[in-house]
């Protein structure tokens, strides 16, 4: 299983090196035995994890709702009356050359077609595309001043997952798994699911462990059918025979691994076999939605064809979070379906419809079960969209200013933080780079982005690449 590593020290590159460098391995063996004890309570495992945290956490787990392709902020959470007033006119000269790298820089401005209302006690603005999420705004902190470096989808998605637009670094979920491990030894610490049949841009690179041992990478669950295929032992084999096969396979793998200590992928394979065996008892119950009431399934929109798919994933994410999975990432619109270069009205109308009720259902269900206080929910894409039109009825990529939101996990709801300029092109107040977003998520989990280190090629690597800071206003 994933054993949390202490920060501030030279970190071993593999489990074998860890055991070799830890007093013949007796201390590590004791800790591993403690964490692996099937009789160990969730409370005890939580106390072990807390010993590796840098400060008191306000969140135990994260559910990251990734809208892949880049939703339009000025059509969802960031109304721009001035944009509507200047509809059809060119971008004012006062904006300089900031838009030259964003496709049709000379294209006319395009007004939003949305109707806007203020919701909740705080009067948070939400468009008519998201009527269900609008009912949850008193639990949501809207972040209108996000920005990133990635101009295209590959770089943008990569940076939102790894803090770098270039591939090769560990994903945020891998850092969380490395820093905290799992509260449930029979389930993965980091789980990934995606809505629909298309593949997410960059594929598994988004949940890769990068230069860390491969055992920290995300575990992909299927979105249709059995979420964990081939998990059950065939009846013709039986448990004892299965245990014998796994023991032999483990012995062969470990003998080979001892001669090839540089191959962390083999460690990950060994871990995956061990985890899969333990999951045979735990996972079927965790993913069995038949245990949920009809009222709960309807809350997530599972009684409606348009919302059933993402509603199922949102309900699965709640069931996994309440069982101790640390980091759960759901991709909505994989294959850049939010990428509305043309026909944004039809594109976003359909996508908002398919995720609005499921996301609201997740927030309401977590709250009524007392889980929202300890579960951080994050919503957003890799960037936003431009105020200028593209192809007459669409919007181009906009990395210089866009909206995300967070709820639960110690975040103060009913807030709208930061701002973009009067047209929604650039973040101008309380600017939040992806480094800041990741630093804030880690902070809420009790991890300091500078103290969480992994030694790679003789240098300490950190999750936000030595940049970013916790956004204090999130917690009031």
Question: Which tokens is 418 given?
Answer: 């930061």
pLDDT category at 333 given cuts 50, 70, 90 is: very high
Q: Which domains does the chain have, with CATH numbers?
A: 15-225+297-475 (3.40.720.10), 228-286 (no CATH)
Q: What is the pLDDT of residue 222?
A: 80
Residue with tokens 């003998």: 255
Question: In this structure, are strands 402-407 and 375-380 parallel, antiparallel, or unpaired?
Answer: antiparallel
pLDDT of residue 365 exceeding 90: yes
Question: Which tokens is 199 given?
Answer: 């593949």
Which contiguous run of DSSP H or E holds residue 398? strand 394-398
> Burial level of 251, CB count in 10 A (0-12/13-18/19+)?
exposed
Residue with tokens 């249709």: 224
385-389: average pLDDT: 96
CA 417, CA 429: separation in Å to the nearest integer? 9
Q: What is the pLDDT of residue 37?
A: 41
Q: Which residues of 167-190 are buried (b: 16+ CB within 10 A; e: fewer)?
A: eebbbbbbbbbbbbbbbbbbbbbb
391-442 tens-digit pLDDT: 999 999 999 999 999 999 999 999 999 999 999 999 999 999 999 999 999 9
101-155 tens-digit pLDDT: 454 557 899 999 999 999 999 999 999 999 999 999 999 999 999 999 999 999 9
33-85 tens-digit pLDDT: 333 443 344 454 455 455 578 999 999 999 999 999 999 999 999 999 999 99
Hey, is 400 helix, strand or coil?
A: coil
Nearest to 67 by CA among 433, 300, 333: 333
463 vs 186 pLDDT, higher one = 463
Alpha carbon separation from 68 to 287, 295, 331 (Å, rounded): 24, 29, 6
Q: For the chain, what percent of residues have pLDDT higher than 70?
A: 78
CA 126, CA 360: separation in Å to the nearest integer? 13
Q: What is the pLDDT of residue 254?
A: 75
351-359: average pLDDT: 98
CA 161, CA 365: separation in Å to the nearest integer? 26
Q: Which residues of 84-99 are buried (b: 16+ CB within 10 A; e: fewer)?
A: eebeeeebeeeeeeeb
Nearest to 68 by CA among 399, 341, 330, 435: 330
Q: What is the pLDDT of residue 172?
A: 98
pLDDT category at 12 given cuts 50, 70, 90 is: very low
Rg (CA), the chain: 23
Q: Which of 165-169, 177-181, 234-238 has the lowest mean pLDDT?
A: 234-238
Residue with tokens 């630093």: 439
Mean confidence (pLDDT) of the chain? 85
Please state the φ and ψ torsions of residue 307, each to the nearest 5 degrees: -115, -5
Q: What is the pLDDT of residue 273?
A: 57
252-278 tens-digit pLDDT: 777 777 777 666 666 666 676 566 556
């Amino acid at each position: 299983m994933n054993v949390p590593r202490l920060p501030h020290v030279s970190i071993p590159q593999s489990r074998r090196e860890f055991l070799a460098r830890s007093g013949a391995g007796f201390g590590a063996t004791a800790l591993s035995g403690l964490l692996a004890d099937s009789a160990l309570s969730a409370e005890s495992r939580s106390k072990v994890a807390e010993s590796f945290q840098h400060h008191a956490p306000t969140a135990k787990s994260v559910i990251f709702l990734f809208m892949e392709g880049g939703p339009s902020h000025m059509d969802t959470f960031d109304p721009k009356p001035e944009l509507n007033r200047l509809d059809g006119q060119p971008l004012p000269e006062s904006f300089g050359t900031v838009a030259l790298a964003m496709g049709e820089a000379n294209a006319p401005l395009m007004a939003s077609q949305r109707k806007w209302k203020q919701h909740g006690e705080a009067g948070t603005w939400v468009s008519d595309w998201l009527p269900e999420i609008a009912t949850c705004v008193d639990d949501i902190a809207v972040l209108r001043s996000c920005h990133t470096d990635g101009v295209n989808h590959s770089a943008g998605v990569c940076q939102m997952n790894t803090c770098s637009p270039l591939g090769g670094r560990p994903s945020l979920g891998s850092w969380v798994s490395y820093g905290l491990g799992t509260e449930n030894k029979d389930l993965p610490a980091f789980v990934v699911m995606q809505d629909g049949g298309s593949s997410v841009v960059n594929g598994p690179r988004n949940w890769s462990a990068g230069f860390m041992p491969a055992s920290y990478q995300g575990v992909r669950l299927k979105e249709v059918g059995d979420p964990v295929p081939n998990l059950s032992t065939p009846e013709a084999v039986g448990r004892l025979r299965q245990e014998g096969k796994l023991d032999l396979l483990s012995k062969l793998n470990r003998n080979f691994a001892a001669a090839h200590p540089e191959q962390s992928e083999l460690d990950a394979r060994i871990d995956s076999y061990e985890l899969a065996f333990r999951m045979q008892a735990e996972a079927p119950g965790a993913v069995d939605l038949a245990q949920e009431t009809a009222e709960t399934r309807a809350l997530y929109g599972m009684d409606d064809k348009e919302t059933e798919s993402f509603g199922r994933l949102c309900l699965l994410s709640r069931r996994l979070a309440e069982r101790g999975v640390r980091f759960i990432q759901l991709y909505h619109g994989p294959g850049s379906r939010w990428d509305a270069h043309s026909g944004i009205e039809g594109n976003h109308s359909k996508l908002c419809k398919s995720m609005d009720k499921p996301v609201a259902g997740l927030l309401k269900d977590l709250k009524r079960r007392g889980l929202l206080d300890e579960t951080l929910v994050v919503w957003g894409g890799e960037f936003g969209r431009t105020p200028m039109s593209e192809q007459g009825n669409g919007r181009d990529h906009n990395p210089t200013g866009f909206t995300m939101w967070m709820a639960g996990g110690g975040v103060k709801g009913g807030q709208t933080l930061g701002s973009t300029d009067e047209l929604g092109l650039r973040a101008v107040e309380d600017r939040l780079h992806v480094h800041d977003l990741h630093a804030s998520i880690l902070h809420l989990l009790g991890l300091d982005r500078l103290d969480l280190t992994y030694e790679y090629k003789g240098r300490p690597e950190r999750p936000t690449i030595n940049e970013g800071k916790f956004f204090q206003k999130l917690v009031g």
